[in-house]
């Protein structure tokens, strides 16, 4: 049975009534099978005596002015169903005041890598993400927190923050859940028109083709060119960036597994995806 709680005191009471091994799954709600995979992994990880807390909070601070904060999908009843069927113990839906109570300044250590990839088109985004996750950690005090590789850049920064700030908190990373055509599940997919949805498979197609070319020894330039060609098969998709980087977001090294990361727009809808990639040595 999943307990729905709102305020911080109510949350603490619910946690205290349960076990001591606490696993937090931070989300912005609009839960889908990708989130369900995270909750199930959390449940597996903490075992019988653990307690899985799913936070459901659309963080206003991490949306830019021109972004979709107001129209971001919210449906607590649906979220409760997904949390329940995935085995969460607590669904915690705090208010803005619960997460940002009065004067409670936090020093967020910035990083030049906050400005690349997602950070380039979303200024201030990662500082806001790190701030909210820090606050969620302070309130919930988890032993483990679970995040998706879908947001790879975010995962790197959160792992760094946790290692520096509170190394006792373990970070569990879960591979991206995809639809049957390969499109990464995302809360924003519901906004795609049927025409846009029909061509969205070109995003994972392009990444998969890139991974294959890398294994055959093609250069970064040729791989990027192939991605551009695949994406441009549809004029409904425009490419924002395609980058091949190491797993710490520095330049990729041949012979060491890195990441290929992409952002595209379909109309107003911005989608991101990534996959592991291994460039052959001497490529
Ligand atoms: P969000 O609600 O979009 O902020 O995502 C909450 C968590 O779910 C983040 O750790 C995401 O990386 C993760 N997530 C979102 N989509 C997926 C997916 N398709 N597969 C796995 N994890 C995901």
Nearest CA to ligand 1 atom 10: 147
**22 & 149 share domain:** yes
**204 & 132 share domain:** no
Which CATH number characterizes residue 37's domain? 3.40.50.620
> Ligand 1, from 27, 93, 156, 159: best to mutate by most atoms within 8 Å of Cβ?
27
pLDDT per position as a tens digit, 36-46? 999 999 999 99
Residue 68: CB partners within 8 Å, gap ≥ 6? 188, 268
**77 & 166 share domain:** yes
- For the chain, the farthest-separated pair of C-alpha atoms sits apart, in whole angstroms, at 58
Position in ligand 1 atom list of the atom nearest CA 37: 21
Task: Tell me, yes or no, whether 181 lies in a domain.
Answer: no
Cβ–Cβ contacts within 10 Å for residue 219, how many?
Answer: 14
> For the chain, how many structural domains are there in total?
2
pLDDT per position as a tens digit, 14-73? 998 666 799 999 999 999 999 999 999 999 999 888 999 999 999 999 998 878 898 899
Residue 145: CB partners within 8 Å, gap ≥ 6? 23, 24, 25, 26, 133, 137, 158, 162, 169, 170, 171, 172
**167 & 193 share domain:** no
Determine the pLDDT at residue 106: 81
Determine the pLDDT at residue 103: 67
Determine the pLDDT at residue 214: 98
**38 & 130 share domain:** yes
**58 & 165 share domain:** yes
Determine the pLDDT at residue 107: 84
Provide the Cα torsion 58, 59, 60, 63; round to 10°: -100
Query: What average pLDDT does this structure show over 206-213?
Result: 98
- DSSP 8-state secondary structure symbol assigned to residue 251: B
Determine the pLDDT at residue 65: 82
Residues annotated catalytic, as ranges: 35
Task: Tell me, yes or no, whether 279 lies in a domain.
Answer: no
Ligand 1 mean position, distance from CA 222 (Å): 30
Q: Is the pLDDT of residue 105 over 80?
A: no
Final residue in a domain of this structure, among 148, 174, 200 = 174
Determine the pLDDT at residue 148: 98
Structure tokens at 43: 């449940």
Position in ligand 1 atom list of the atom nearest CA 154: 12
Final residue in a domain of this structure, among 129, 151, 174 = 174
pTM: 0.97
- DSSP 8-state secondary structure symbol assigned to residue 184: B
Whether 185 lines ligand 1, by a CB cut-off of 6 Å, is yes
Whole-angstrom distance, CA of residue 38 vs CA of residue 151: 13
Whether 172 lines ligand 1, by a CB cut-off of 6 Å, is no
Structure tokens at 59: 């963080």
Task: Tell me, yes or no, whether 27 lies in a domain.
Answer: yes
Structure tokens at 55: 């936070």
Q: Range of 145's domain?
A: 3-174
Choose among 279, 64, 23: nearest CA to 174.
23
**148 & 201 share domain:** no
Determine the pLDDT at residue 135: 95
Whole-angstrom distance, CA of residue 33 vs CA of residue 172: 17
**167 & 198 share domain:** no
**214 & 90 share domain:** no
**168 & 192 share domain:** no
Question: 272: which strand partners?
Answer: 263
Structure tokens at 33: 């099978």
User: CA 252, 209, 221: angle at the middle one, nearest 5?
Assistant: 45
Whole-angstrom distance, CA of residue 92 vs CA of residue 263: 30
**131 & 29 share domain:** yes
Determine the pLDDT at residue 66: 79
Looking at per-residue confidence, does 31 or 108 come out higher? 31
Whether 263 lines ligand 1, by a CB cut-off of 6 Å, is no
pLDDT per position as a tens digit, 155-207? 999 999 999 999 999 999 999 999 999 999 999 999 999 999 999 999 999 99
Which CATH number characterizes residue 199's domain? 3.30.1300.10
**14 & 79 share domain:** yes
């Amino acid at each position: 049975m999943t307990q729905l709680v709102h305020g911080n005191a109510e949350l603490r009471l619910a946690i205290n009534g349960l076990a001591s091994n606490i696993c937090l799954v931070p989300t912005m709600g609009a839960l889908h099978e990708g989130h369900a995979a995270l909750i199930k992994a959390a449940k597996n990880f903490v075992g019988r005596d653990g307690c899985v807390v799913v936070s459901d909070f659309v963080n206003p601070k991490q949306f830019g002015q021109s972004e979709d904060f107001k129209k971001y999908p919210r449906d607590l009843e649906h979220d409760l169903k997904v949390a329940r069927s995935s085995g969460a113990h607590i669904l915690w839906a705090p208010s803005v005041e619960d997460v940002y109570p009065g004067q409670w300044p936090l020093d967020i250590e910035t990083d030049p890598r906050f400005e690349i990839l997602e950070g380039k088109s979303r200024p201030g985004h990662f500082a806001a993400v790190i701030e909210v996750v820090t606050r969620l950690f302070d309130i919930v005090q988890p032993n483990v927190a679970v995040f998706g590789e879908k947001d790879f850049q975010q995962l790197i920064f959160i792992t760094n923050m946790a290692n520096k700030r509170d190394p006792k908190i373990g970070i569990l990373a879960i591979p991206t859940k995809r639809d049957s055509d390969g499109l990464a599940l995302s809360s924003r997919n519901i906004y795609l028109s049927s025409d846009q949805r029909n061509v969205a498979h070109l995003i994972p197609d392009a990444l998969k083709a890139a991974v294959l070319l890398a294994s055959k020894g093609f250069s970064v330039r040729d791989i990027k060119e192939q991605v551009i060609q695949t994406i441009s098969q549809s004029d409904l998709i425009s490419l924002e960036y395609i980058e091949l980087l190491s797993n710490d977001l520095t330049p990729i090294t041949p012979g060491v597994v890195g990441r290929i990361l992409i952002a595209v727009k379909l109309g107003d809808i911005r989608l991101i995806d990534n996959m592991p990639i291994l460039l052959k040595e001497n490529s």
